């Protein structure tokens, strides 16, 4: 596949260079009119435009049929349904408008292509048409903008409350660490200046003089209780990162020198997601592809890939360096009882630095 893509890119580059050379040649002053488009050329171009329209729609329909099921499964967060509704409404409108306008563009290019004896009609303006294609887009875009602002406000409003679980996501080239507020529900102060304290055991730079930080818990596998609001505080140690949790429809930049935040409530446990028919179908398709890749790996003397099992995941969605692709952390959503049992097994910061 890589070889095919590389060959395709090289061919397209060659065609582009050839076209640029032709344009440059035609731009030169010359008495030779052999390069000037005539009715025959326009006839061919009109037919090619119509053929490209057919190709475009066939490719679109094939893409939906072949890869439509690799989209993300249903949202696993409370706000996810609003996010998906906004996306699908926007996508549907854009796709509808694109389908109509491109069909008209290519069809008219074909219908009014150059023919012997046919002359173009100069049509200055039409106030009614101008009003139609101005007012309709204005109303449509205004509706999308208002819907988007409403959804944005609902998703981005973070209100501190005693019931929420406060977690810090700490980004560092090229890994994530999570810090849970302890029993007091408050994260202790932290700064990169404290990273080297306690023989390197201070993984996220907690200020040991702040009593709120002594009961904090630092881990490298994120556990979340289902049905409870999670408030994420995000920091970066070095460069700009982006905390992306696709299944929860959540993303927020992690900026050096400042704290950003995002909140959501997970509604589906990892085990329930693994039993979902939609997810099972996606996992089967992914594993089928991985088996095909494994055959190639074995043929090359490399180890086969392990079967894929669904897991929620935290990714970095900003290109942050050479190992950006590998900057991820597993997320486990579980029942409150399972979460509490896991939390009881973790060491607090005070215990780590003893």
Q: What is the pLDDT of residues 285-343, one digit of tens each?
A: 888 877 776 766 565 555 556 778 889 999 999 999 899 999 999 999 999 999 999 99
| HSE of 242, CA atoms in CB hemisphere, 13 A | 11
Q: Is residue 14 part of a domain?
A: no
Q: Is residue 299 part of a domain?
A: no
What is the DSSP pairing of strand 250-254 with strand 241-245?
antiparallel
Write the DSSP symbol of residue 247: G
How many domains is the chain built from? 2
Q: Residue 85: which domain range?
A: 39-114+126-157
Same domain assignment for residues 130 and 184: no
What is the percent of the chain with per-residue pLDDT over 70, rounded to a whole number?
Answer: 92
pTM for this prediction: 0.76
Residue 42 pLDDT:
78
Q: Is residue 176 part of a domain?
A: yes
Closest CA to 77 of 205, 228, 256: 228
Residues 153-164 pLDDT 10s: 888 888 878 788
Residue 182 in tokens? 């302890």
Its sign, for the CA torsion 225, 228, 230, 231, is negative
Same domain assignment for residues 169 and 153: no
Burial class (CB in 10 A: 0-12, 13-18, 19+), 189: middle
CA 227 to the chain's CA centroid: 25
76 within 8 A of 333, measured Cβ to Cβ: yes
Q: Which of 103, 135, 157 is the last residue of a domain?
A: 157
Same domain assignment for residues 248 and 319: yes
Same domain assignment for residues 90 and 185: no
Residues 118-152 pLDDT 10s: 776 777 778 888 888 889 889 988 988 999 999 98
Residues 28-42 pLDDT 10s: 655 555 556 677 777
Task: Using the structure block, give the residue that is written with the tokens 């988007």.
Answer: 148
Average pLDDT (164-180) is 93
Same domain assignment for residues 140 and 43: yes
Give per-residue burial for 8-23: e unless 16+ CB within 10 Å, then b.
eeeeeeeeeeeeeeee
Same domain assignment for residues 86 and 135: yes
Same domain assignment for residues 204 and 325: yes
Q: Is residue 339 part of a domain?
A: yes
Same domain assignment for residues 136 and 68: yes
Q: Is residue 327 part of a domain?
A: yes
Q: Is residue 4 part of a domain?
A: no
Same domain assignment for residues 181 and 142: no
- The whole-angstrom separation of Cα 249 and Cα 227 is 16
Q: Is residue 294 part of a domain?
A: no
Residue 264 pLDDT:
93
- State yes or no: pLDDT of 63 exceeds 90: no
Same domain assignment for residues 191 and 58: no
Same domain assignment for residues 107 and 235: no
Q: Is residue 99 part of a domain?
A: yes
Residues 10-28 pLDDT 10s: 888 888 888 888 777 766 6
Q: Which of 104, 136, 157 is the last residue of a domain?
A: 157
Same domain assignment for residues 46 and 75: yes
CATH code, domain with 217:
2.60.40.420
Residues 81-121 pLDDT 10s: 999 999 999 988 888 888 888 888 888 888 877 777 777 67
263 within 8 A of 249, measured Cβ to Cβ: no
């Amino acid at each position: 596949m890589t070889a095919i893509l590389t060959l395709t890119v090289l061919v397209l580059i060659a065609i582009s260079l050839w076209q640029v050379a032709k344009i440059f040649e035609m731009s030169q002053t010359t008495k030779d009119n052999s390069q000037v488009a005539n009715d025959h050329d326009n006839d061919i171009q009109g037919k090619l435009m119509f053929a490209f329209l057919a190709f475009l729609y066939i490719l679109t329909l094939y893409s939906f049929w072949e890869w439509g099921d690799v989209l993300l499964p249903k949202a696993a967060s409370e706000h996810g349904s609003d996010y998906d509704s906004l996306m699908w409404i926007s996508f549907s409108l854009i796709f509808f408008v694109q389908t109509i306008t491109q069909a008209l563009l290519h069809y008219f290019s074909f219908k009014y292509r150059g023919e012997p004896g046919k002359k173009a009609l100069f049509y200055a303006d039409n106030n009614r048409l101008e009003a139609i294609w101005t007012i309709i887009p204005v109303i449509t875009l205004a509706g999308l903008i208002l819907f988007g602002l409403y959804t944005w406000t609902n998703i981005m409003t973070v209100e501190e409350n005693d019931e929420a679980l406060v977690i810090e996501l700490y980004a560092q080239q090229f890994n994530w660490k999570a810090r849970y507020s302890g029993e007091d529900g408050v994260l202790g102060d932290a700064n990169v200046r404290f990273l080297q304290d306690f023989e390197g055991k201070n993984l996220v730079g907690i200020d040991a003089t702040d009593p709120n930080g002594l009961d904090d818990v630092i881990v490298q596998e994120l556990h979340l209780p289902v049905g409870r609001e999670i408030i994420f505080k995000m920091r970066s140690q070095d460069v700009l990162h982006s905390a992306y949790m696709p299944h929860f429809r959540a993303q927020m930049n992690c900026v050096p020198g400042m704290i950003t935040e995002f909140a959501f409530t997970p509604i589906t446990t990892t085990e329930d997601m693994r039993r979902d028919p939609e997810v099972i179908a996606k996992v089967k398709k992914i594993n089928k592809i991985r088996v095909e890749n494994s055959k190639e790996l074995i043929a090359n003397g490399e180890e086969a890939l392990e079967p894929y099992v669904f897991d929620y995941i935290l990714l970095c969605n900003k290109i942050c360096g050479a190992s950006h692709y590998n900057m991820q952390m597993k997320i486990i959503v579980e029942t409150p009882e399972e979460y509490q049992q896991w939390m009881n097994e973790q060491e607090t910061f005070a215990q780590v630095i003893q």
